[in-house]
């Protein structure tokens, strides 16, 4: 692809005669940037390209006799000027026509070390014209050392931890009978399409101060101010297979995947998955899909999915103090915040329990809760909403206990429940509560104290707790 780009930007200046080029030292070239700062890159891997332009504002052509890296061949930075790759850190005899420009692509590949902290690198791209005029562009980059895991099968009990992230270049498999423990502060970086496949057991025990992060391995920006980490579909998913039970995720941040967590059909008499104080955010499919599984989700945020934020296909589930909100900002079809069913004529998925207590379930649509009962009235279809804020108009009254309706008859509804306001330009979403939200102070305190007396941000829930995973915190009085 780059070769095509280079060909497109190459200038046809070689046909100019010598008389059309100046050797005056006053013919000074300028650049589109004085400094090029690369985003954090993974050491040992070439970065994506950065592009700058060298401008000639003169009425005659200018030749650059030499362009080079000040660090020479030992520099981790590389360049391609007008389709010419630097040789031994430099390029010569580059031409820029009158009122024209030269395109330079820059790369960096920082050697890996054993350091746990990021490795900083600095160099300068220098150039000199035939007339002796000089220019310099500062180059900076930070390299992140990682533990590289290829196609890895965890076949015995294993613990991953430490300060260096783990790069999953293919997929990580936990074999049946084996347990993978992730220590607090562990980061897993997944390459495109790589997934975590759980046949055994996953125990991920983060803390408020040291959460566990599962995300894609693109550390750079799509464009200025927009990290790839805010773009969905950067990696695969977490799949919890049929034979896997007793999985625990606590203080885990899972985001920007193709899907979040997928639970395969299993024995609902055994707990398959427990999620506590965690975030699943910004995915290209379902954020949490559980087929005939027993799951418990406490004090967690499940938000912004192109599919469903939560998709329950039968099974036995409990959600307490969860914020389930679908404000997926990208084009294309978007599913609801919550979908649940007991199957079809071809698939029998009895819904023995789907209980939502002290939750917020909302999104952009007028109805963010979709129920799909089958025609077989003898098949279990048991759901209940208690002390929750609901964006829906389709639930029967007997399944609702002391809930609030999130609709346009209210002064504050949908995204106005949260502040600060969503920044759609930079894909920044906050699900902390607005003072005016109906969710403030209307949760059941007995349920709060039983399941999660402290919110996702570590704020104690008092006698009048809020619905959802975050308590409303009044702004501090100005001194």
CATH number assigned to the domain comprising residue 42 = 2.60.40.10
CB-CB contact of 434 with 416 (8 Å) = yes
- Domain span including residue 309: 146-384
456 lies in some domain = no
Q: Do both 351 and 293 map to the same domain?
A: yes
Q: Do both 214 and 325 map to the same domain?
A: yes
CA distance 289 to 380: 19
Q: Do both 138 and 83 map to the same domain?
A: yes
CA distance 204 to 275: 10
Position 19 scores a pLDDT of 57
Position 298 scores a pLDDT of 98
Position 410 scores a pLDDT of 85
Q: Do both 138 and 224 map to the same domain?
A: no
Count structural domains, the chain. 2
Q: Do both 104 and 191 map to the same domain?
A: no
Nearest residue to 89 (alpha-carbon basis) of 102, 103, 114, 107: 107
Position 11 scores a pLDDT of 39
CA distance 247 to 278: 14
How far is CA 99 from each of CA 23, 55, 87, 96, 171, rounded to the nearest angstrom? 16, 7, 28, 8, 51
Q: Do both 138 and 223 map to the same domain?
A: no
187 lies in some domain = yes
CB-CB contact of 184 with 212 (8 Å) = yes
459 lies in some domain = no
CB-CB neighbours of 292 under 10 Å:
24
Given 143, 159, 187, the domain boundary residue is 143
- pTM attached to this predicted model: 0.91
Over residues 122-153, the pLDDT tens digits come to 999 999 999 999 999 999 999 999 999 977 89
Q: Do both 233 and 364 map to the same domain?
A: yes
393 lies in some domain = no
Position 355 scores a pLDDT of 98
Position 17 scores a pLDDT of 56
414 lies in some domain = no
CA distance 263 to 148: 27
Structure tokens belonging to residue 309: 């934020």
CA distance 213 to 277: 13
Pairing of strands 196-198, 221-223: unpaired
340 lies in some domain = yes
Q: Do both 151 and 134 map to the same domain?
A: no
Q: Do both 92 and 123 map to the same domain?
A: yes
Given 101, 128, 143, the domain boundary residue is 143
Given 143, 163, 186, the domain boundary residue is 143
Position 18 scores a pLDDT of 56
Position 150 scores a pLDDT of 73
Residue 327 in 3-state DSSP? coil
CA distance 321 to 471: 10
Q: Do both 47 and 188 map to the same domain?
A: no
H/E run at residue 3: helix 2-9
Structure tokens belonging to residue 373: 């009962």
How far is CA 350 from each of CA 28, 45, 198, 342, 384, rounded to the nearest angstrom? 76, 49, 24, 5, 15
How far is CA 95 from each of CA 13, 126, 144, 354, rounded to the nearest angstrom? 6, 15, 37, 70
429 lies in some domain = no
CB-CB neighbours of 157 under 10 Å:
13
Q: Do both 235 and 376 map to the same domain?
A: yes
Residue 446 in 3-state DSSP? helix
Longest dimension (CA), the chain: 93
**Residues in the chain where the model's pLDDT stays below 70:** 1-19, 477-479
Q: Do both 156 and 65 map to the same domain?
A: no
457 lies in some domain = no
């Amino acid at each position: 692809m780059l070769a095509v780009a280079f060909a497109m930007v190459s200038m046809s200046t070689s046909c100019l005669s010598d008389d059309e080029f100046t050797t005056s030292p006053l013919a000074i070239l300028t650049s589109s940037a004085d400094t090029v700062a690369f985003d954090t890159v993974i050491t040992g891997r070439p970065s994506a390209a950065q592009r700058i332009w060298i401008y000639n504002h003169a009425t005659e052509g200018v030749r650059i006799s030499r362009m080079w890296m000040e660090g020479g061949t030992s520099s981790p930075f590389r360049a391609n000027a007008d389709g010419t790759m630097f040789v031994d850190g430099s390029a010569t005899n580059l031409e820029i026509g009158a009122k024209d420009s030269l395109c330079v692509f820059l790369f960096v590949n920082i050697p890996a070390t054993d350091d746990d902290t990021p490795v900083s690198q600095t160099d300068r791209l220098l150039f000199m014209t035939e007339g002796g005029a000089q220019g310099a562009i500062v180059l900076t980059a930070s390299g992140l050392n990682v533990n590289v895991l290829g196609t890895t099968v965890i076949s015995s009990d294993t613990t991953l931890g430490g300060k260096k992230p783990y790069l999953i270049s293919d997929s990580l498999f936990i074999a049946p009978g084996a347990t993978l423990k992730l220590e607090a502060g562990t980061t897993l970086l997944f390459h495109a399409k790589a997934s975590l496949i759980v046949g055994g057991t996953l125990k991920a025990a983060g803390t408020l101060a040291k959460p566990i992060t599962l995300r894609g391995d693109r550390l750079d920006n799509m464009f200025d101010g927009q990290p790839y980490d805010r773009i969905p579909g950067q990696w695969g998913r977490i799949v919890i297979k049929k034979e896997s039970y007793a999985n625990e995720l606590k203080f885990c941040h899972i985001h920007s995947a193709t899907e979040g967590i997928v639970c395969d059909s299993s024995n609902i008499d055994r707990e398959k998955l427990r999620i506590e104080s965690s975030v699943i955010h910004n995915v290209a499919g379902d954020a949490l899909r559980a087929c005939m599984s027993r799951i418990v989700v406490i004090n967690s945020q499940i938000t912004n999915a192109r599919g469903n934020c939560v998709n329950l296909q039968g099974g036995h589930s409990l959600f307490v103090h969860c914020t389930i909100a679908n404000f997926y900002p990208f084009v294309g079809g978007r599913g609801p915040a919550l979908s649940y069913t007991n199957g079809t004529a071809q698939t029998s998925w009895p819904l023995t329990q789907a209980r939502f207590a002290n939750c917020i379930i909302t999104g952009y649509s007028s109805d963010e809760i979709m129920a799909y009962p089958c025609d077989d009235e003898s098949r279990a279809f048991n759901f209940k909403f208690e002390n929750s804020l609901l964006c829906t108009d389709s639930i029967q009254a007997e399944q609702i206990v002391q809930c609030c309706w999130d609709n346009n008859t209210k002064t504050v509804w949908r995204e106005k429940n949260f502040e600060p306001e969503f920044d759609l330009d930079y894909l920044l979403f906050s699900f902390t509560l607005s003072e005016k939200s109906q969710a403030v102070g209307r949760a059941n305190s007995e349920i709060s104290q039983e399941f999660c007396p402290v919110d996702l941000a570590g704020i104690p829930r008092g006698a009048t707790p809020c619905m959802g995973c975050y308590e409303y915190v009044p702004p501090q009085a100005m001194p």
